Structure 1
C-alpha cells in the first residue's frame, strides 16, 4: 500500500491553536481516494531550547500573528547521521537530502480525517525510537493510519543524545530533557487537539524501541499522569534502558572531550552551553559507544528508581499493551553485537566470550559470575547441532533479544498487572518479506513492525502533497 498518491485543495482550511493559527496540506491514500487527510506539519509546541534554555526543561512556544503555513516538517533535532544510517533497523527509511537539523526542533505534526471540533476522534500520539539519540517524528505513513483507522495521529521531535539526556544530576544539568519535551508535547495535545478533530480524553501513547521505553517511563512519572488514557510499548520498556545512577562521570568525560574546564558542575554546564550543536555532536561521535546516555532520577520527572516505584505500586494503572517481536536481535541489530559475516555464524568460543562480556557488565562484582555465564550458555545451546556456527549464532541472538527486550517486557507487564492495571501482552511473529538478503532462520526482527505501523510494507512508495491555499 502506498502512503498517498494524490494532492487536493481545500481553500481556507485553517485551524487555531493556543499560540496562533495554522494552515496545512491535504493528501489521499491510494486505496481511499475519496477520503482526504489533513496534515499540519512543523507546529512549535515549545520554545527553541537554545542559549540559556539548553539543558533546561522546555518552555512554552512563542505565539505568532496571522496564519502560520504548517506545510513542511520542522528541523530534526541534532543527531549523528552516520550513526543514524548505521542503525536503520530502528527506521525503515533514511534522512532525505533536503533535511535540516537545528536545536530549534521542538515541533509537532498532526494528521486528521477531519478538523471538526465536535468530531472527538481517538488520538494516537507517536513517540519515535532511536536509542534516545537518533530519529525524528516525521516518517512517511501517518496519513495512511489516520485514514484507515479514522483517528487523529500526532508525532513530534524531542531532544536527543547529549542535548537530551546529559546530566550532572544536580540543579545545573538535571537531565531527562528529552522526556520532559515529550511531556510538553502531551500537554500541547491536551490543549489543542480538539480543534483538529481529536478527543483530548482519548489519547493513546504508542511508540517503538526507545519510544516504547519512553512510554514505560511515562507510566511511572507524576508529570505524565492524566495526559493520556492508554499506552502501547512496542519492543522496549524502561528496564531495556534502566536509569544511570551515576551520570556525572560520563558527563565529565564528555566535557573533557569537548574542551571544557571541569572545576565544578556549574562551569561544565556553562561551557557546554557555549558550544555549538555541531561541536557537541563531534565530541559525542568521538566517544561513541563509550558514552551511552539514558534517563536519570532527577526528582521531578522520576522521583526515585523505577524499580522502587514498581515495588511500591506507584504506577499509572491505565490500560497498557506491550510486547515484542519474536526475533528482536535477529538480523540487522545482531551485527552490532557479532563481528564478521552473519551468514557464516560464530564459534562456541566466541559465543561464550560475548556472553561473558555482557554478563560482566550486568552483574558487576557478583561472585557467582562464572556460574551465571555457564548457566546461560547451557540454557541456550542447541541440543541437536551444538557445534554448528549458525546454530550457535542463532542461540546468541536470542540471548541478546531476551535480555534486552523479552525479559524487560515481561517484568514490566507483571508489575503493572500486580497493581490492577489491564495489561495486554503480545508476541509479533509476522516476518515481512522486504529484505531478499535476510536468511530464512531470521524471524520478526527489531523494528519490522514499523513497516505496518506506518503503512509502508511496499518499499516503493510515493506521496504528493499540496499547500492548501
Structure 2
C-alpha cells in the first residue's frame, strides 16, 4: 500500500491506552499524528550517507521540515536477529523519507486504526526528524531525542509528532524506533544471546544523530535524551553507560529511573526457556540458530502466548513481561550498584549530565486494570474499593518483594507496610493501594535517583517535577470506577508535550484556557533545559533546582508552584548506602510511623503510634534478631526473635487471653501454652506439621484463598 506524504487521519485523539492482557497490564501512552498541517513541497538534505528527501508542512502558520523513517541500522533480520544492530551503510540516489515506515513487530491493538502506516516489520530501525522554520546547516540548533514507552512491548515513533516541541523551543526533535518484545530483549547467555538489543538500538540511533545531525542544522554537542515510562527507564539506563559520553549531554526521565524495579527484567531466563519450549527450540543443538530460523510472525505469536499464560501456584508479582537485563556488557552490575561507587565511570558520567526527572501525581493508575481480576479471585466488588486484608496479605507483600528485590523478611516488612497504608474503609483503602504502588515503584526510586545525582554535584544541574493535570478527554476515563479521583494518570504529560492544541482545533473536547497555558509552559521548560541545562526563563514561574535537604520540585498544575518534600505527609525518605541505610516517616490522621533501616547485614528500627495502638520494633541481624513490643488498651504483646537457626519466644496478654509460645528449630520444635477463663491448652510439636484451621469468617476465608493465588504479572 502506498501512503500519501500529506495523509493524516481526519480527527485528533490523544489518549492513554491501558492494555490488560489476561493477567498482564501493558500501558502504552501515545499521541496520534493527527494534525491541522498543510502539506507543501518536498525538501532535500545531503548527508554523508546519501541524499534524503523530506516534506515541508505548515503547522499553525509556521513551517516544519519533516524527515520520516530514516534508517539508522541495517535490517536486524536473519543472522542479525538477536544481535547488536549494525550501522546502516548508506544508499545511492535519493532516499524518500516523506512517509512513515512500518512499526517494529508487536501485538496488534486498537491503535492500528490511527496509524498513518499500520504495517509491521522486523526491518524497522528508523528515526524521524522535525526541524522548525528554517533548514540550514548554520543554525546549530539544540537537539532533543525522544524514546517512547510501552512496557518494552509496544510503541512506535509515528505516534508522536515532534512539530510543536520543535516550534516552541526552536530545537530539532528526533524520535526513534527500537526493537520490542522478544525481538529486542530475548536473553539466553549460554547460547550467546545476551539481550538488551533494544537498548543497543537506542544507542546506535544516538551515534547516528551525533554523526549526522549537523547536516540538518543540529548541534551534536547539545543533545538532550528524554523518554517516558519504558522510555524513561531507557534514557535513565543510557545515562549510566560511560561509553555513551559525548552522545548526549542532558536527560529528562519521565516516570522511570534506574533505581526503579521496572528498570530490569527479573524473569528473563525463565521466559527464554518457556518461549523456546513453545517453539520447539529448547532441546535443539543450537537454541540461538533455532530461534533465528523461526518465522517472525510465529515468534511474535509465541511471545504473546507465553506472556499471557499464568503460572499456577504462585503469588502476586510485579515484574516486566520483557525488558533490559544485567548482561555483563552494557550493565556489568545491577544499575543501582553501577552508580554506587563514586569513582566509577558510571557515576562520573551520570553526574556530568544535567538531569530532570519526575512523575505524574497518580502513577498507580496503571494498576487499575489489574484490580478486576484480583477482585474476582478474592470475591469482592472492586467498584466498592479494596478490602484491607487483600492489600495487607496480597498486594502489599508483592510490592515489598518488588521494592526490596525479594531481599527482605516479608513477614516483618508486611507489618510495616500494612500499618502505613491500611484503611478500614474500602474506598480509602483503594486510594492507599494506588498510593503504595506509586510510592514503592515510582516516587521512592525517583527520590533516590535525585539524591544520587544531586549529592556533592557542582558540575551539572538537577530538577524534579510532579505533573498534576488529568487526561483532557473525559471519554478515556469514562469506564473508571467511582472512587477514581481524576488524578493525573500515568503518561498524562504526553498530551501537553505532543499536541494538545489539536484538541481545540479538531476535537469535541473543550480544553480550558489554563491547560493551554500549562502546555506552553511545559514545552518551554523542556526546550529551555535542552538548550542550557536550566528550564527557567523570564516568562515562566521559577523552577528551583533540587538538592537533598530542601528537596524542592516544580508542581505543574493550572497554577505552577514550587513545593518541597514530595508527599511528605505520606513518606519522606533518605537513602545512604555502603550497603543501605533508609529512613522513612509516614504520618496521617490515623497513624504515624517512623522507620530506620541500616545494613551491614540489616538493622531496622520502627515505631508506630496512633490513638489505638503503640508499637516499637527493632530488627538487628548478624544472623537474625527481632524484638517487638505492642501495647494498647486491649492487648500487650512482647515478641523476641533470635536465630542461629531459628528461635522465637512470644508472650501475649490481655483481659481475655494469655498466651506464651516458644519456637526453636534445628528442625522444628514448638511449645505453646494458652490460658483464659474458658480454656487452657498445652501443646508441643516436635516435627514439621502444617495445620490449616477452618475459617470462621469471610476475612479468614479470603486469607486462605490468597495462599493459593495464581501469578499475576504487570507491565507499566
Same fold (TM over 0.5): yes
Is the 1:222–1:301 contact (alpha carbons within 8 Å) kept by the matching residues of 2?
no
Map of 2:676 onto structure 1 = none
Which residue of 341, 366, 373 maps to 1:312? 341
Taking the aligned partners of 2:404 and 2:447, their CA distance within structure 1 comes to 20
Residues 1:409 and 1:196: Cα distance change in structure 2 (over 3 Å): same
The answer as to 2:451 corresponding to 1:451 is no
| Change over 3 Å in CA distance of 1:366–1:47 after alignment to 2 | closer
Q: Could you tell me whether the CA contact under 8 Å between 2:143 and 2:218 is conserved in 1?
A: yes
Report the counterpart of residue 69 of structure 2 in structure 1: 42
TM-score (ref. length: structure 1) = 0.88
Q: Tell me which of 435, 453, 465 is aligned to 1:416.
A: 453
Separation of aligned partners in 1, 2:506 and 2:67: 19
In the alignment, which of 26, 36, 48 is matched to residue 5 of structure 1? 36
Q: Which moved more, 1:344-353 or 1:145-154?
A: 344-353
Residue 441 of structure 2 corresponds to: 404
**2:328 is equivalent to residue 293 of structure 1:** no
Equivalent of residue 323 in structure 1, options 354, 358, 374: 358
Q: Offset at 1:365?
A: 6.3
After superposition, residues 133-282 of structure 1 pair within 5 angstroms as 133-170=153-190, 172-240=192-260, 241-244=262-265, 247-263=268-284, 267-282=286-301
Q: Is residue 371 of structure 1 aligned with residue 412 of structure 2?
A: yes
Greater shift in the superposed pair: 252-261 or 411-420: 411-420
Q: Could you report, residue by residue, the CA deviation over 1:379-410 in whole angstroms, capped at 9, with x for unpaired residues?
A: 123xxxx3322211111011111122111211
Structure showing greater relative contact order (alpha-carbon pairs closer than 8 Å, 6 or more residues apart):
1
- TM-score, length-normalised on structure 2? 0.59
Shift of 1:26: 1.6
Alignment of structure 1 residues 90-105 onto 2, 5 Å? 95-96=114-115, 98-105=117-124
Q: Check conservation: 1:115, 1:195, Cα contact below 8 A.
A: no
Deviations 1:223-253 (A, max 9, x none): 3221001000000112332435774332111
Q: After TM superposition, give the deviation of residue 284 of structure 1 in Å.
A: 1.1
Q: C-alpha distance in 2, partners of 1:362/1:140?
A: 32
Q: Quick one: distance in 2 between partners of 1:149 and 1:370?
A: 52
Please give the per-residue CA displacement for 1:334-372, whole angstroms capped at 9, x wherever unaligned. 213553575432222222222223434555765731221
Cα 1:462–1:222, aligned 2, differ >3 Å: closer, same or farther? farther
Q: Is the 8 A contact 2:102 2:117 kept in 1?
A: no
Is the aligned partner of 1:355 residue 2:392? no
Q: For the structure 1 residues 443 and 40, does the alpha-carbon distance in structure 2 shift closer, same or farther, using more than 3 Å as the test?
A: same
Separation in 2, partners of 1:50, 1:391: 51
**Kindly tell me: are residues 378 and 461 of structure 1, through their superposed partners in 2, closer, same or farther at Cα, counting changes over 3 Å?**
farther
**Match of 1:391?**
428
- 1:335 is aligned to 369
What are the superposed Cα offsets for residues 149-195 of structure 1, whole Å, 9 maximum, x if unpaired? 21110001000110101111357111110000000000111111111
2-side partners of 1:457 and 1:346: how far apart? Answer: 38
Structure 1 residues 123-144: Cα deviation after superposition (integer angstroms, max 9, x where no partner): 1100010111111111143111
Paired residues in the alignment total: 444
The answer to whether the 8 Å contact 1:429/1:444 transfers is yes
In 2, the alpha carbon distance for the partners of 1:284 and 1:347 equals: 34
Give the C-alpha shift of residue 300 in structure 1: 2.4
Task: Flag structure 2 segments of 5+ consecutive residues without an equivalent.
Answer: 1-10, 13-33, 311-319, 376-380, 508-716
Structure with the largest fraction of strand: 2
> Which residue is 2:622 aligned to?
none
Q: Work out the CA distance in 2 between the residues paired with 1:462 and 1:277.
A: 38
Relative to structure 1, is the Cα distance of residues 434 and 368 closer, same or farther in structure 2, using a 3 angstrom cutoff?
Answer: same
Whether contact under 8 Å (1:15, 1:21) holds in the other structure is yes
Contact 2:265/2:321 (8 A) holds in 1? no
Seen in structure 2, the aligned counterparts of structure 1 residues 445 and 6 have a Cα distance that, compared at 3 Å, is closer
Q: 2:97 is matched with which residue: 45, 54, 70? A: 70
Q: Secondary structure of 1:118's match?
A: helix
Name the SS for the 1:138 alignment partner.
helix
CA distance in 1, matches of 2:71, 2:140: 23
Q: Deviations over 1:26-76 (max 9, x none)?
A: 22223xx1x200000011000000000001111021321111111111211
Q: Tell me, in whole angstroms, the C-alpha distance in 2 between the residues paired with 1:308 and 1:406.
A: 19
Larger radius of gyration: 2
SS for the counterpart of 2:384 is: coil
